[in-house]
Amino acid sequence: MLYPLIFQPIFKDRIWGGRELERLYAKKIPAGQPIGESWEISDRPGDASIIANGSLAGKDLRWLMEHHAAEILGGAKPAAAGRFPLLCKILDAREKLSLQVHPPASKAAELKGEPKTEMWFIADAAPGASLYVGLKCGVTRAEFEQKIADGSVADCFHRIPVSAGDTMFLPSGRVHAIGDGLVIFEIQQNSDTTYRVFDWNRVGLDGKPRELHVAQSLASIDFNDFEPKLVGSKYNQGPNFKFRYLVQDPLFEVQEMVFENAGSVSPAGQYLRIIAVVKGSATVIGGENKISVELKPGQFCLIPACLKGVEIKTQPQTTFLCVEAN
């Protein structure tokens, strides 16, 4: 019954958002709004992704998890309340995001939030773009708190210049912000808890300052997390492609697959996988009836764990991310 699934994106307007999702990926975003996020695969309360292809079109990911969780997940663990374990987005940061943190698992329940470990793959970057991740060496909690009071806490953050193809891993508890001029593929735990430390003294879409969560942030931040580096993994050579591991974490794993020429790959084993095309074109084939779905840049495909004989065929100059939930 199941097959490779694609979903209708869920667009989120954000004060820091832009229009790059329309320019880069031809997404039909609402006119006249700053769209900061496209939720590509989501099983959040009130935001369940709707299937866009095949016989199940019109049903949503919540329905899938209620009726076919074992077939979807295989050995992967669901999120709280039996929800799909991951949330996949594309972010368009026309302006800087707030300086923020997500609570670690050890603190989340106490703070009435959800832990969120995530990764960022830089899909597009303006010249001079940067991330703010972790603390500068030597910054203490006392100094951090004083800088919050002074309105200069951004001075405590480690700034990292980035370009397209760079990757950053962000375990929960790591303070961070996305700089302006970036489009990012984000793979994360199924969570939507964010504590803002500082928001650059701007107002939100309603004209009012956005809420800060200083106490929760201070309880969540890892104050021993100094100047983390971008993912530095090297490429390995496959039969007709090269690949590298971007994330290998107990929650999820991510590989980048790069095809210079047309080619194909058949992932080993039956696991819950997500394919996200960064550039080029890929066709995912799987299931008893060998149902296929063609993916363009900016499209994501969920491959249920129950599918056998999955094959991914690519056009020349194609890059995609392969995500496995654990």
Active site residue 44: no
Fold category of 7-220 in CATH = Jelly Rolls (2.60.120)
Alpha helices by DSSP H, the chain: 20-25, 61-73, 105-108, 141-150, 214-220
pLDDT band at 240; cut points 50, 70, 90:
confident
Residue range 57-75: mean pLDDT, rounded? 97
Residues 77-126 have pLDDT tens digits of 999 999 999 999 999 999 999 999 999 999 999 999 999 999 999 999 99
Kindly indicate the confidence band of residue 302, based on its pLDDT and cuts at 50, 70 and 90. very high
What lies within 8 Å, CB to CB, of 93 at 6+ separation is 16, 17, 18, 36, 178, 179, 180, 181, 182, 183, 184
- Mean pLDDT across the chain, nearest whole number? 95
Distance between CA atoms of 30 and 33, rounded to whole angstroms? 6
- The residue annotated as part of the active site, out of 174, 196, 202, 273, is 196
Ordered by start, the domain boundaries in the chain are 7-220, 236-325
- As given in the structure block, the two tokens for residue 206 are 């309603």
Q: What is the pLDDT of residues 126-154, one digit of tens each?
A: 999 999 999 999 999 999 999 999 889 99
Could you tell me the fold of the domain covering 236-325?
Jelly Rolls (2.60.120)
Higher pLDDT, 192 or 65: 65
The predicted pLDDT at position 129 comes to 98
Buried b (16+ CB within 10 A) or exposed e, 127-160: eebbbbbbbeeebeeebbeebbeeeebeebbbeb
pLDDT of residue 268: 82
What is the chain's percent helix, strand, coil content, to nearest 5? 15, 40, 45
Query: CA 271 to CA 71: how far, in whole Å?
Result: 10
Topology alike, domains 7-220 and 236-325: yes
CA distance 282 to 30: 27
